[in-house]
């Protein structure tokens, strides 16, 4: 039941006609229509879409509460100016009217094509239908309704000792910190302070969503939300924080495995950096490098491309102390190739997931990032999107 696994939440999804065939709208609501604590992490893209701007303003104004979230896919309502902001407000108003709740307790999210006005007639006419379909069993339909080029729904349930946390997400392309391009919605029946919710969601996003880099593109619409009904009472704060982290990690891996055109995933660790921040900069430079990504597609342990990408990142590096390893097999040290087990290396490189370490030899900083290979599938998917 994912996003409705926690007590107090219902959901629905349907096809409204924004897209040709697939589900393209979803709704999450509290079962009793009462507002509950809600926290969110939004895109850091300065070209943020109107739904993001409205969401930020709404949560700031109402102290961080929500009773419903309306989502459409197929159109991001981004690059649409004042008219787009008004359309986001109309989506809020339609939801508030259909649910008989205050507009100030409604949030909206959009995802899809940038720069095209929302088709408001099908959206507004289908809001009442979404409300009628709301149920605990509607979670999977909701998870389908938020997808764009995803191949499958992404859902998770984490069972705590005294609470449940469920969630759903979308995202498989235009993914780069910060955040990984995506929409994610988490719900829990734990009674936790909103300050803890915000801290837990931000920390989990940094450790999971913000480590995923498919193509270096940061979306205009990135949003992760966490709502808490409090239906099952107080819980252990550390256990709750760990549950949020586990849910976000699970959804991150589902997004990585569903990345556009993906055939191989790279788990990159940069070590030996002067600082953790420099390690993150180097890691981002490596996983976004097209030559590196092409070598992953071909299963080629081309360590020189890794070092070249790190060396051009503008961070401290001591080549003499550096090393590169694939699957724990050191293939280069001090900036030159060294003898290694070629058979074991080839076997590792042919797997669906590759582990890589690049040691910069400049300190004790480190960072992890998930990268995706670059092959014909990604180009085909993104060459005809508008």
Q: Which residues carry out catalysis?
A: 181
In the structure encoding, which two tokens stand for residue 191, read together? 């009674």
In the structure encoding, which two tokens stand for residue 87, read together? 């359309």
Q: Are 59 and 223 in contact (CB under 8 A)?
A: no
Is 356 strand, coil or helix? strand
The single residue listed with the structure tokens 């969401």 is 55
- Report the alpha-carbon distance of residue 372 to residue 259 in Å, rounded: 8
Q: Where are the alpha helices (DSSP H) in the chain?
A: 50-62, 81-99, 120-133, 139-145, 194-207, 237-257, 276-287, 290-297, 303-311, 342-349, 376-382
In the structure encoding, which two tokens stand for residue 322, read together? 């550096």
- Report the alpha-carbon distance of residue 109 to residue 49 in Å, rounded: 9
Q: 144, 152, 3: which is closest to 74 by C-alpha?
A: 144
Helix or strand (DSSP H, E) at 15: none
């Amino acid at each position: 039941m994912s996003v409705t696994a926690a007590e107090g939440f219902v959901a629905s999804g349907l096809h409204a006609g924004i897209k040709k065939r697939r589900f393209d709208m979803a709704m999450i609501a509290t079962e009793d229509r009462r507002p509950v604590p809600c926290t969110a992490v939004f895109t850091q893209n300065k070209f943020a879409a109107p739904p993001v701007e409205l969401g930020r303003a709404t949560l700031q104004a109402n102290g961080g509460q929500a009773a419903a979230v309306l989502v459409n896919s197929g159109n991001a309502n981004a690059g649409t100016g004042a008219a787009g902001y008004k359309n986001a407000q109309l989506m809020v108003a339609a939801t508030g009217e259909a649910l008989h709740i205050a507009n100030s307790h409604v949030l909206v999210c959009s995802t899809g094509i940038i720069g095209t006005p929302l088709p408001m007639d099908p959206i507004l006419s289908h809001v009442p239908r979404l409300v009628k379909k709301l149920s605990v069993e509607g979670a999977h339909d909701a998870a389908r309704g938020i997808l764009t080029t995803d191949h499958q729904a992404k859902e998770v349930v984490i069972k705590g000792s005294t609470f449940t946390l469920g969630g759903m997400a979308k995202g498989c392309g235009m993914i780069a910190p910060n955040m990984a391009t995506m929409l994610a919605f988490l719900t829990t029946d734990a009674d936790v302070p909103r300050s803890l919710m915000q801290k837990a969601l931000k920390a989990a996003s940094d450790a999971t969503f913000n480590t995923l880099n498919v193509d270096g593109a940061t979306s205009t619409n990135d949003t992760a939300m966490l709502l808490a009904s409090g239906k099952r009472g107080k819980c252990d704060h550390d256990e709750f924080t760990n549950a949020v982290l586990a849910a976000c990690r699970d959804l991150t891996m589902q997004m990585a495995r569903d990345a556009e055109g993906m055939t191989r995933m790279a788990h990159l660790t940069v070590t030996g950096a002067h600082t953790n921040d420099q390690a993150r900069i180097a890691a981002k430079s490596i996983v976004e490098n097209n030559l590196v990504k092409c070598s992953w597609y071909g299963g080629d342990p081309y360590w020189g491309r890794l070092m070249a990408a790190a060396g051009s990142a503008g961070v401290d590096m001591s080549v003499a102390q550096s090393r590169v390893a694939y699957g724990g097999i050191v293939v280069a040290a001090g900036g030159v190739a060294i003898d290694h087990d070629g058979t074991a290396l080839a076997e590792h490189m042919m797997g669906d997931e590759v582990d890589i370490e690049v040691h910069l030899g400049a300190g004790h900083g480190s960072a992890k990032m998930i990268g995706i290979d670059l092959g014909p599938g990604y180009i085909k998917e993104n060459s005809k999107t508008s």
